[in-house]
Amino acid sequence: MKENKKRWLAACGAPSLLAMAVAAVSSPAVAEDALLEEVITIGTRVEGRSATDSSAPIDIVTGDEFVNQGDGDLNNLLRNVVPSYNVNAKPISDAASIVRPANLRGLPPDSTLVLVNGKRRHRASVIAFLGSGVSDGAQGPDISAIPAIALKQVEVLRDGAAAQYGSDAIAGVINFQLKDAAEGGTVEVKHATTAEGDGDQSMVAANFGLPLTDSGFVNFSMEYREQDSTSRSTQRDDAAQLIADGNTHVANPAQVWGQPEVDDDTKFFINSAIELNDTVELYAFGNYASRSTDGGFYFRNPETREGVFADENGNPLIGDLDPSNGIDNCQNVSVSEAHDLDECFSFTEMFPGGFTPRFGGDLEDYSMVFGLRGELANGIGYDVSASRGQNEVDFHIYNTINATMGPNTPTSFSPGGYGQTETNFNIDLTKATEISGKALYMAGGFEWREEEFEVNMGDEASWTQGPLTEQEFLIGSNGFSGFGPEVIGTFDRDNIALYTDFELEATDNLRLGTALRWEDFSDFGSTFNYKVSGHWAINDVIALRSTYSTGFRAPTPAQSNISNVTTAFADGQLENKGTIPPTNPVAVLKGGKQLQPEESKNFTIGAIIAAGDWDITLDYFQISVSDRITQSADQELSEAEKAQLVADGISGADSLTSIRFYTNDFDTKTRGIDVVATYPLGDATDLSFAANWTDTEVTKYREETISDMRLGQLEDGLPNIRGNATISHAGEGWRGLVRLNYYGSYWEAHLDDYSLPIDAGDEWTVDIEGAYDFSDSLSLIAGAENLFNNYPDKNPWSGVAGAEYPETAPMGFNGALYYVRAQYEF
């Protein structure tokens, strides 16, 4: 029971590990335990550093802090405990609903580097084409493939670190440290449901460790999860009118807004190491994960959907199934007449009430890392490692059609998929020495990395041009066209990097650091970045820290080569929009060119304060990013340009209203303040507080490529203020916590339409959890997230497409989640 109490207090942030280390500055009695518990492995290459010793702000979240929540998705769990981390539900967002984009410090997901055990994690294969503005076109990692039960702790470096770790580390670095126990384990069973009675989540998870001879360990973690869909929908106005006019085939609601269904969500992680002798250790870790996601798309109105039910003038679209005698025979035929004629065809025969496609994908993710680390006789430490990771998604879409195939169309398609493969080789060297009697820590290394992005072909029906192609019917599986033979392929890039890193103990109270990194990419050349840092302990009460660095983010092979057609909402109608490579001749005519890396300048300054029983950290940051890589504004197409894209093999290009391509397009400045504080209310009761203020300003852009809507999404699409306060208590045999969460106001262009603005207000939610220990091994836990079933402001445009609440609500829109969990430790 005492061990459970200790773990509970640490997990609830009471006191948080960060605050415990702060307390160690003025309380030597707790220094040893605190520093042992919160040793960091990122932001520095010096072993044994604590978060408060670091020159940059680092959050440390224990594995138990993730487990002690109701949700099962690691993205949501991280959002709940790190205020500068934002992720929302993606109810209708193409592939972004399969791997949801997350934002650290208001920047896109591929501006945050993700590590596991200090090694670079491969990115997901999914591109967030519909990313609510901030994440449009981003390709970040899939952290939801990591089971929470596998985590020993998570370190969130809130600072630019490209000079230390390379591309993507503009907003910061998140390092997931895996459990490394050689004995014991935990089994958990959890079930959760919403106050509406939908969205059930069921999960079984286990972790256990075993000795690997007398000098090593192997630690296993497993999780299996199922998630039901939710619906927070109202009937669309057009669907309601159809029903009022007597169409009894229209579903109610015609279009569902809610979290997608997730089936067979299976996750497995292994972590192991063995000492070969007193100075050499062999280590290996890796994962396998798979899941199937199924979500909704937009409703196809049986009277107005162009290219399926209607022509470009809004008249009924009737196909001539025997064009051998010309295609004029069915042009003046009504829908009802077409039903009675063998030669004429209307899709109202198949879908009299219209249809709403269902879209999803089957995801597989796996990785393996091997390494050898130790120390040479001359005191040089080394870590040589090799890794390979892969993320694959095979898409599926059903309850839809390839309109050009007429009555012979299937209604279920496999439109193809994406694959991302990354291979890394690293040599890291460290050496501790002295200069003029001052401790000097030196590091250097080499990295080789290769990225491959693969587009896999869909089944022929998903991209073929059927017999009705010349009669204005849309090509390809409607909603998400398949990938044909002309656009599939593998696109790769490799790079090498050299780095060096120094930390000097200038005095007993002052530490200075610098880092340099040169990196060369096969597709666009070289980049050079640096970082300087300092940490000054003024006295036992206050210490100051600061960093300044330059950074970069390299365009991914996918962003440089991807072709895609998707259906989006615009001006009250569904439109097909395409994404083409920036080097495609059509894109070049409109200003496209080879992508270059983003460049950044990062500055942080902060204070660590131990004032009485209060432990406080306060940090200010500023991130300036130039030449940000994003999707261009929509570019209108001429008929000749459409024909060229069709010839290039882009399925559905004949139906495009516009195209986009990736471009280095604009500059931003992001500023913010992070506050973390803890205070003991008693021997077993503690208060913790964390808050973040972030503001982004677009400082340079071209009016022809950045619209007012996109400006609003970039600057106001995420809440400026996020925070939470937690009170936790641990008694004899029981424990509990109450957490108050605050989500600031935000702005949404509903359906990515500037004419449908939502100025959503701030919101408060309350989380509560209680646990009872039946024995030292068995505990029963019950709790609620959003206890009082609070919802975001109503969507004033709900009748347009049926969304009852803003789709980008940072708190989500499912309401309360109630859960019960049983835990057995051995």
* DSSP one-letter string for 70-87: S---HHHHHHHH-TTEE-
3-state DSSP assignment of residue 395: strand
Calpha distance 735→749 (Å, rounded):
43
Cβ-contact 645, 660 below 8 angstroms: no
For residues 745, 748, 754 and 757, what is the CA-based torsion angle, rounded to 10 degrees? -60
Peptide bond into 91 cis (omega under 30): no
The whole-number pLDDT of residue 654 equals: 67
| In 148-241, beta strands by DSSP E | 151-157, 172-178, 185-194, 201-211, 216-227
Calpha distance 259→251 (Å, rounded):
19
Instruction: Name the helix (H) or strand (E) containing 346.
Output: none
The whole-number pLDDT of residue 427 equals: 97
In the DSSP assignment, the letter for residue 22 is H
Cβ neighbors of 782 (< 8 A, separation 6 or more) are 769, 770, 771, 819, 820, 821
Tally: H helices and E strands in the chain: 13, 37
Phi, psi of 547 (to 5 degrees): -140, 155
Calpha distance 174→154 (Å, rounded):
7
CA atoms within 13 A on the CB side of 58: 30
The whole-number pLDDT of residue 10 equals: 39
Calpha distance 714→705 (Å, rounded):
14
Calpha distance 461→454 (Å, rounded):
21
Cβ neighbors of 683 (< 8 A, separation 6 or more) are none
Q: Which two tokens stand for residue 462?
A: 């998903």
Residue with tokens 């001879």: 213
Find how far residue 159's CA is from the centre of its chain. 18
Q: Of 75, 70, 49, 69, whose CA–CA distance to 60 is shortest?
A: 49
Residues of the chain with pLDDT under 50: 1-37
Q: Which amino acid is at 474?
A: L
Cβ-contact 629, 666 below 8 angstroms: no
Phi, psi of 121 (to 5 degrees): -90, 135
Instruction: Name the helix (H) or strand (E) containing 774.
Output: none
Peptide bond into 15 cis (omega under 30): yes
Q: Which two tokens stand for residue 534?
A: 């300092």
Calpha distance 748→756 (Å, rounded):
8
The whole-number pLDDT of residue 749 equals: 93
Helix runs in 245-380, H state only: 335-340
Task: Determine the longest span between alpha carbons in the chain, in angstroms.
Answer: 97
Q: Which two tokens stand for residue 662?
A: 């990736």
Cβ-contact 267, 222 below 8 angstroms: yes
Instruction: Name the helix (H) or strand (E) containing 762.
Output: none
